Structure 1
Amino acid sequence: MKSVSSSLRLLPLLVAATLSAVAAQSAVAAQDAGYARGRILIEARPGLSDAALDRILKEHGGKRRKIGQSRMQIVDLPANASEVAVVAKLARRPELKFAELDRIVPATLAVTDPYAGSEWHLNKIGATSAWDSSLGRGVTIAVLDSGVNVNHPDLKDRIVAGYNIYSGNTDVTDVCGHGTAVAGSAAATSNNAAGVAGIAGAAAIMPLRIAYTDSTGCHAYFSTIASGLTYAADHGARIANISYSGVAGSSSILSAARYMKSKGGLVFVSAGNNNVDENVVPDPALVVVSATDSNDAKASFSSWGSFVTIAAPGTNIWTTNNSLGYSAWNGTSFSAPVTAGVAALMMAARPDLGGDTIQSLLYSTAIDLGAAGRDPVFGYGRVDAAAALRATVAYQPPVDTTAPLASIAAPLANSSVSGLVGVSVNASDNVGVARVDLVVNGTVVATDTAAPYSFSWDSTGVANGMASVVAVAYDAAGNAGQSAAVAVNVANSVTTVSKDTTPPAVAIGNPVAGTVSGNVSVSVNASDNAGAAGITTVIAIDGQTKAQGTGGTLGYNWNTRKVAAGQHTITATARDAAGNTSSTSVTVTTK
């Protein structure tokens, strides 16, 4: 397969013409099975060093590629490897949060009618009234799709720089027209006396091509979608839309959605067009949208299930097309961006509100349909833009003085540990947990930003004997709740060096060079020939010390909103017990 520049760390998916006939046949067979040949997706638990992860993957001949600034990795496998077998083995590794196949998913387009259409849905959801309060200006909507026709007269003024995740370049040309239609339904320019009006007609559109086209339509991979979400979050998008079926059950996509939520964003996905219960477990990281018709009934094609959170018009949605004109489309492909556009209006009206608050207001103002309360067909109800904007403008955030609760579920007190130790934390809050820090002997060794909170602690970084393990949970208001300390007995083999003149090795696991935004988890790992227990590690940003501690692992939560936009240098320095030092740096750009 065609490679992508490692500096971009994005996804190569085009099959090279030089593939052997056998490899080509294997790729076709894997596609027929519904997943990509030659790669899988994993996520390491916080605290696991890159070196330790590489040793785990080496057993399977795997080589990893980091997805943006997240902890997820694309793992390239040898040609003779079984993706199914490798995933089964890696999924049982306690050092990993998950391992999964890189499955293929289709666009959620039902049918098109080039002669139908009026924008009935605008009045149905109260968009025209909502426009009195907001048009979405200042909010960027990432459209993860088949590309966008950036020359369309109703879209060209809305476009900001995007990326072709599929091919690893900047060509976002729409290869099947689906993305252009989705983009228009969310944010086609309003008040320009031409064409149609999107829900958020002054919002920016970030085109991210995650799909390819073949004789059966537009398709994407779990890996391209997860990469696209991470790219959107790292580059400042507040909204992301994915109008593809079968994504809500993917561990990698859920992880990327949680990553985007940690930056204050929201991810909208379509429920599907199979007219069945999709039987997917609901997750708050995703806003899952089913489709309604002009009578507020379920669209005939719309899927449903407990994962559906809200409904929106999805029949005869008049929007932009790839021929620089307009046509009417059907599908949950369009109910999702209609809802995403409403969220953009809300965020633009109140940029001070976080994604969780916007999501809650979106649900609480929906018009209840079907069974009372949330139901599997309409979720909380059909989106109501006018009511959502009224509630958003009037919203007064409560003063949050309640600290989160945290407890360590594993390891057990007074247990003996060695090597890599799995640490599980239970954390809850009256509003929501923003992150959990793992603290060992007073040093923050790792940070996790999404439940379930779990770590892979390298116990070789502390001296043998009793060690104190504490979890500290933080909410968005800055309140902190600390668990009771768990004392464990560290029993690792000890290395003796008669005369130590070798400096420690130190690496910054996150972030990598590139763009960052919001809260950034800085993770540093160090090792030494005399053992990591005698190391002192320091994290500095632009020359100013931000965190320091003892042992081989150090973590720090960096709030980039408090620094000027532009380039910043993160430096990690490690000093061993003999006084030998070494350092490494990475330069990132804040939005």
Structure 2
Amino acid sequence: MTMNSRTNQPISVCLAAAVSAILGLAFATTADAAPDKWAEGRILVQPRAGLPDGEFDAILSKHGARSQGRLPQLDVHVVEVPAKAEAAIVKALSKNPHVKFAELDGLIGPNQTTPNDPKFPNAWHLAKIQAPTAWDASRGANVTVAILDSGVEATHPDLAGQLLPGWNVVSNNGDTSDTRGHGTAVAGTVGAASNNSTGVTSVAWNVKLLPIRITNSADGFAYYSDIAKGLTWAADNGADVANISYEVNQVSTVTSAAQYMRGKGGLVVVSAGNGSTDPGYADNPYIISVSATDTNDTKASWSNYGSYIDVAAPGNYIWTTSPGGGYGQWYGTSFSAPTVAGVVALIKSANPALTPDQVEKVLEVSGDDIAGTDFYPYFGWGRVNAAKAVQLASQTQATDTQAPSVSVFSPTAGTTVKGLVSVDVNAADNVGVAQVALYAGSQLVGTDTVAPYQFTWDSSLVADGNATLTAKAYDAQNNQGVSSGVTVTVDNVANVADTTPPTVTFVSPANNSNVGTKVTISVIGQDNVVVASLKLYIDGALKSTVTSGSMSYTWNTRNVAKGSHTLKAVATDPAGNQAAATETIFK
């Protein structure tokens, strides 16, 4: 989350201005930013809150798609689509007003680069961020850090005592063994056992590590949907911090999960990527994006950079735990991110009362300005400094009794609505909005935990006439804000399907009557809405058509054969319902 500037004001004062500016942002979908690889025959879709299941299914079916299930905490559906049509369907669904976002279920690898200099001095990064000074006050006690990765080697001597029982979101079981080794190295960077005369030293010695395996692949590649599942599992199972050493800074589904975790008081740290490029990402207010520095406090040559970077941390030649019970040097933003996750754990341990936004503000304000300016695209708000961060955290007071502000801004008061109605809500808080609920009168329309707060209201569920829309917003402390009511006029009469056919009657001549050489045929049609057309057939031939409910037609029978003749009248309404009447006359 990028703030406006570094300042010496108290943290609570800074946050109010920063958060109010941030929460109005609508996080863009990634429909146009396709990943290099994605799941075949599957996409991710989040409908607007409140959209009836039947309506959502109908939207999908138009594209030959159907929901296979959803991530319940996020209301993101895993949608089956025809193979090879994934990108086209994502593009089409992204334009639907009742869809919040649609994106490919991308397949992404860890941000790891193989080291080539095994003689580099051990643990230089800890001295660079002044971790030894920080340890005098905080070592991460009573903090749980989730490691979303390829798994963690549970038998490693520097990790065995640090691990909590974790979860494999791919196999839906407790197997968190490491498929690649990457997760073991990341976990050791955050919280390997230290000061034990064994192996390496980590940033936050006393944390508990929660391993969450997001891939079963030997190459470590993971789908967006599995990363989001892992993040929601972490949030629901006590994680205070989550580290994701994958470049998912702009994935909508993962962002939804990150906001869900933030609403529960946790923070998400993500690596910036190793492409040595500015990918043009916008700042993500729910993710701490981390670039990498080298021993000279310059940007690592391979590290990504840009306006989305929040902070930087050492990422070159990081000594950490390796598979097989060993140790090795690793580098990449995969290791600058867990360095930051460790510092976040030190901050939270030093002052557990801090809100997520306060923790992040402490992290950013305490960073070293190695570029000589407050914000710089290479380093964000600076290279992290653990000692300064812990000191500032200890001095920061955290109380939150302020309710969020909330308003319904679309539709506006006095609007006439019918059918499915898009409703947009603004909500902001001095710390952070956890949830927004929309009501039509006393009826709950739906809840949304992810900004922008967008709903679809089925107005046919209320009686025609005036209806008042009200929104309620809650923060993590359950402070509640209530919007002013917005009264709209519901008019669904014209929106109700008309299945009632008209009636049609011959006024004259009478059935089975005898007629002369000239006869006036009169027909009346009636309908519950309106008669769109009346047609008269004589002996099967169309003789007259009118666009009203009555007809008078003069039939000259001078040259018509003697005997019986059949008259038929057909009435049609605007919905296409029809009725017919027949009679026989004689000449």
Normalised to the residue count of structure 2, the TM-score between the two structures is 0.74
The question of 1:187 aligning with 2:191 is answered yes
Deviation at 1:211, TM superposition (A): 2.8
The question of 1:484 aligning with 2:481 is answered no
Identity across the alignment (%): 46
User: What SS does structure 1 have at the residue aligned with 2:467?
Assistant: strand
Contact 1:172 1:209 in 2 (8 A): yes
1:58 corresponds in structure 2 to: 61
Deviation at 1:447, TM superposition (A): 2.3
1:129-148 matched pairs, under 5 angstroms: 129-148=133-152
Post-superposition Cα deviations, 1:75-101, rounded to whole Å, max 9, x if no partner, equal 1234x4611122122212222210000
1:32-431 matched pairs, under 5 angstroms: 34-59=37-62, 60-78=64-82, 80=83, 82-112=85-115, 113-213=117-217, 217-245=219-247, 247-397=248-398, 400-401=401-402, 403-431=403-431
1:554 corresponds in structure 2 to: none
Deviation at 1:388, TM superposition (A): 0.8
Q: Give unmatched runs, 5+ long, in structure 2.
A: 1-33, 499-587
1:510 corresponds in structure 2 to: none
User: What SS does structure 1 have at the residue aligned with 2:92?
Assistant: helix
Greater shift in the superposed pair: 158-167 or 249-258: 158-167
State the alpha-carbon separation in 2 of the partners of residues 424 and 107 from structure 1: 37
State the alpha-carbon separation in 2 of the partners of residues 478 and 197 from structure 1: 39
Structure number, greater radius of gyration: 2
User: What SS does structure 2 have at the residue aligned with 1:182?
Assistant: helix
Deviation at 1:132, TM superposition (A): 1.9
1:448 corresponds in structure 2 to: 448
State the alpha-carbon separation in 2 of the partners of residues 332 and 414 from structure 1: 53
Deviation at 1:445, TM superposition (A): 3.0
User: What SS does structure 1 have at the residue aligned with 2:364?
Assistant: helix
Instruction: Quickly say closer, same or farther: Cα 1:266–1:230, change in 2 above 3 A.
Output: same
Greater shift in the superposed pair: 98-107 or 305-314: 98-107
Amino acid at match of 1:127: A
State the alpha-carbon separation in 2 of the partners of residues 452 and 76 from structure 1: 26
State the alpha-carbon separation in 2 of the partners of residues 203 and 285 from structure 1: 22
State the alpha-carbon separation in 1 of the partners of residues 321 and 404 from structure 2: 46
Deviation at 1:45, TM superposition (A): 1.9
Greater shift in the superposed pair: 201-210 or 382-391: 201-210
Contact 1:141 1:206 in 2 (8 A): yes
Deviation at 1:54, TM superposition (A): 3.0
Deviation at 1:311, TM superposition (A): 0.4
Post-superposition Cα deviations, 1:223-280, rounded to whole Å, max 9, x if no partner, equal 12111111111212111111113x1121111111111111111111111111111211
State the alpha-carbon separation in 2 of the partners of residues 267 and 273 from structure 1: 19
Contact 2:264 2:434 in 1 (8 A): no
Greater shift in the superposed pair: 345-354 or 384-393: 345-354
Instruction: Quickly say closer, same or farther: Cα 1:129–1:170, change in 2 above 3 A.
Output: same
State the alpha-carbon separation in 2 of the partners of residues 51 and 129 from structure 1: 59
Instruction: Quickly say closer, same or farther: Cα 1:426–1:190, change in 2 above 3 A.
Output: same
Instruction: Quickly say closer, same or farther: Cα 1:32–1:369, change in 2 above 3 A.
Output: closer
Deviation at 1:381, TM superposition (A): 0.2
State the alpha-carbon separation in 2 of the partners of residues 47 and 171 from structure 1: 36
State the alpha-carbon separation in 1 of the partners of residues 497 and 355 from structure 2: 49
RMSD: 2.2
Deviation at 1:213, TM superposition (A): 4.2
Amino acid at match of 2:257: A
Contact 2:404 2:474 in 1 (8 A): yes
Instruction: Quickly say closer, same or farther: Cα 1:117–1:181, change in 2 above 3 A.
Output: farther
Instruction: Quickly say closer, same or farther: Cα 1:32–1:427, change in 2 above 3 A.
Output: closer
Instruction: Quickly say closer, same or farther: Cα 1:465–1:406, change in 2 above 3 A.
Output: same
2:537 corresponds in structure 1 to: none
Contact 1:190 1:198 in 2 (8 A): yes
Contact 2:44 2:76 in 1 (8 A): yes
1:434 corresponds in structure 2 to: 434
- State the aligned residue count: 461
Deviation at 1:463, TM superposition (A): 1.5
User: What SS does structure 2 have at the residue aligned with 1:211?
Assistant: coil
Post-superposition Cα deviations, 1:139-175, rounded to whole Å, max 9, x if no partner, equal 2111111111111000111111112223333222211
Deviation at 1:371, TM superposition (A): 4.7
Instruction: Quickly say closer, same or farther: Cα 1:279–1:371, change in 2 above 3 A.
Output: farther
State the alpha-carbon separation in 2 of the partners of residues 50 and 202 from structure 1: 46
Deviation at 1:443, TM superposition (A): 3.9
State the alpha-carbon separation in 2 of the partners of residues 355 and 64 from structure 1: 34
Contact 2:260 2:434 in 1 (8 A): no
User: What SS does structure 1 have at the residue aligned with 2:106?
Assistant: strand
Deviation at 1:36, TM superposition (A): 1.1
Contact 2:74 2:449 in 1 (8 A): no
Post-superposition Cα deviations, 1:522-575, rounded to whole Å, max 9, x if no partner, equal xxxxxxxxxxxxxxxxxxxxxxxxxxxxxxxxxxxxxxxxxxxxxxxxxxxxxx
Instruction: Quickly say closer, same or farther: Cα 1:82–1:399, change in 2 above 3 A.
Output: closer
State the alpha-carbon separation in 1 of the partners of residues 143 and 36 from structure 2: 39
Contact 2:290 2:313 in 1 (8 A): yes
State the alpha-carbon separation in 1 of the partners of residues 464 and 434 from structure 2: 32
Amino acid at match of 2:211: P
State the alpha-carbon separation in 2 of the partners of residues 192 and 419 from structure 1: 67
Contact 1:437 1:472 in 2 (8 A): yes
User: What SS does structure 2 have at the residue aligned with 1:157?
Assistant: helix
State the alpha-carbon separation in 2 of the partners of residues 474 and 420 from structure 1: 26
Deviation at 1:320, TM superposition (A): 0.3
Greater shift in the superposed pair: 100-109 or 160-169: 160-169
State the alpha-carbon separation in 1 of the partners of residues 36 and 124 from structure 2: 40
Contact 1:117 1:328 in 2 (8 A): no
Post-superposition Cα deviations, 1:382-403, rounded to whole Å, max 9, x if no partner, equal 11111111111121136654x5
Normalised to the residue count of structure 1, the TM-score between the two structures is 0.74
Deviation at 1:43, TM superposition (A): 1.3
Contact 1:239 1:344 in 2 (8 A): yes
User: What SS does structure 2 have at the residue aligned with 1:228?
Assistant: helix
State the alpha-carbon separation in 1 of the partners of residues 205 and 71 from structure 2: 31
Post-superposition Cα deviations, 1:277-305, rounded to whole Å, max 9, x if no partner, equal 12111111110001111221111111101
